[in-house]
Chains A and B, each alone.
Chain A
Amino acid sequence: MSWQPGASLSMLRARARLRQQVRDFFAERGVLEVDTPVLGRYGVSEPAIDSIAASAPGLDGVLQTSPEYFMKRLLAAGSGSIYQMGSVFRAGESGHRHNPEFTMLEWYRPGFSIEALMEEVAALVRVVLEIGSPVIHDYRDLLRSHAGVDPWMDDDAILRSRASEVSGIPADALDRGEALDLLLSHQVEPILAGEEAVFVRGYPPDQAALAQVVREGDIEVAQRFELYVRGVELCNGYRELTDAGEQRARFERDNQIRRRQGKPEMAPDPGLLAALEAGLPPCSGVALGLDRLLMLQTGAASLDEVLPFSVDRL
């Protein structure tokens, strides 16, 4: 292992400049910078996200995989628009575009529709990258056009056999969610890689995470979007769920999936639930991978080139 950093000196400067660009962007818009704890007693329940446990006497905690629960508590306390730029941690994520610790830029806008937040995301990204306005595609259209499936109409057997064809993984080893993820990564993302910037919106309800689910025509969709720039998945945004009861139900559903997958359950965060009961203002929020944005800005091929010390250099 080399003692030297992965990021060159000019990359460190680009990193600092990007953080400054972000701060200037939000300062102009009157969004308050906050810094919530990295070490929390509770963690995000999403089944596909694995936290790193961190314990100290009197505190059995986890490193936060995203600051969302703490930031929502600030919103419920009346903070108004807030953003945060800092490290988050995810166990087992390592690759050209993944590192167990990475820089998340997350922000929340009370009163913003999801469309208004998408516009703001595009504005920020266009401050940093020389790209045109992102085009907007429905998740459903992309899957129908490029993967030949309709996630709202086709049954699990069809999705699983189609995913098995493209991946080589036996169909009986896949569940519905995995099948859709494979079809997205193998059939749709290569198409997105050929485009400058694409918003994908309108996800299936079982991929809602903490987004509101609404009726659109004859189907229910999660009010969630992602932005892909040159095929790199950059951010994930929601019209935020504000209903404490529904939040409790999603905790329970996540833990059911965790039990089925043999993963540790995550205790529902009572602080978040109490904040939602007290009242989270209607808002939209988004989390953006800042290191990936720096990769795109500098043309770097991997996170190792933009992080001072990636996991391989620890």
Chain B
Amino acid sequence: MATYSTNEFRGGLKVMLDGDPCVILENEFVKPGKGQAFSRVKLRNLMTNRVWERTFKSGDSLEAADVMELDMEYVYSDGEFWHFMKTDGSYEQFAADERAVGDAVKWLKEQDVYNVTLYNGSPLNVTPPAFVELEVVDTDPGLKGDTAQGGSKPATLSTGAVVQVPLFIEIGEVIRVDTRKNEYVARAKS
């Protein structure tokens, strides 16, 4: 496996630290006075999602982590694993466990494409697109035409996610949702 020296550390670089794959968030070059140079690095442990702060001597190196991010289509769940398929025409499939799917589970819609992080060839993390379009399967009946009023109500979407929507949204409508904030954006244009 390749190694990266401190002068190659950049945001986004995937490295091994204490046996776990990590992504470098920030790298600050520090060099006090007439002193030695160090790199102060912020990394996110991709296994635990915890952010670590570590200092390295200038010129030290870390092993590259075998981490790849790929777009994959969600195929189905068998109850234990969630199965994703490469979109490159190879039909190669990967099974993600509950920990890898995490909070993304509530946005998973069959045949939609998600960002899957592979570590040593196995799914480590699944990230939904920033915006998804999903059908409302349950919500209180709304007031037709009441588009100017404020106020919101919970709506359950086809994947199980629950978001606050305006009062005029009805069952059967497809809405656009920001997955990062768990927020309604607009009615989807059909």
Contact = CB atoms under 8 A, between A and B. Distances in A.
Interface residues of A, number: 29
Contacts of A49: 34
Contact of B35 (A92, A93, A181): A181
A48 B37 contact: yes
B2 to A, nearest CB: 20
Contact of B57 (A98, A178, A236): A178
Contacts of B31: 48, 93, 98
Contacts of B57: 169, 173, 178
Interface stretch (A101-109, A116-124, A182-190, A272-280): A182-190
A291 interface: no
Contacts of B28: 95-96
**B35, B38, B54 pick with most chain A CB within 10 angstroms:** B35
B150 interface: no
Contacts of A180: 35
Chief secondary structure at chain A's binding surface: mixed
Interface string A214-233: 00000000000010000001
B186 interface: no
A173 B54 CA distance: 15
Interface residues of B, number: 19
A271 interface: no
Given A94-B7, A169-B57, A186-B55, A209 B34 contact: yes
Contact of B32 (A167, A189, A209): A189
B36 A181 contact: yes
Given A168-B54, A169-B55, A48 B29 contact: no
Interface of B: 7, 28-38, 40, 53-58
Given A49-B34, A96-B29, 9 more contacts: A48-B35, A95-B29, A167-B54, A169-B55, A169-B56, A173-B57, A185-B32, A185-B35, A185-B40
24 contacts: A46-B34, A48-B36, A92-B58, A93-B29, A93-B31, A96-B29, A98-B29, A167-B54, A168-B55, A169-B57, A177-B35, A177-B36, A178-B36, A178-B57, A180-B35, A181-B32, A181-B35, A182-B38, A184-B33, A185-B35, A207-B34, A209-B34, A226-B33, A236-B34
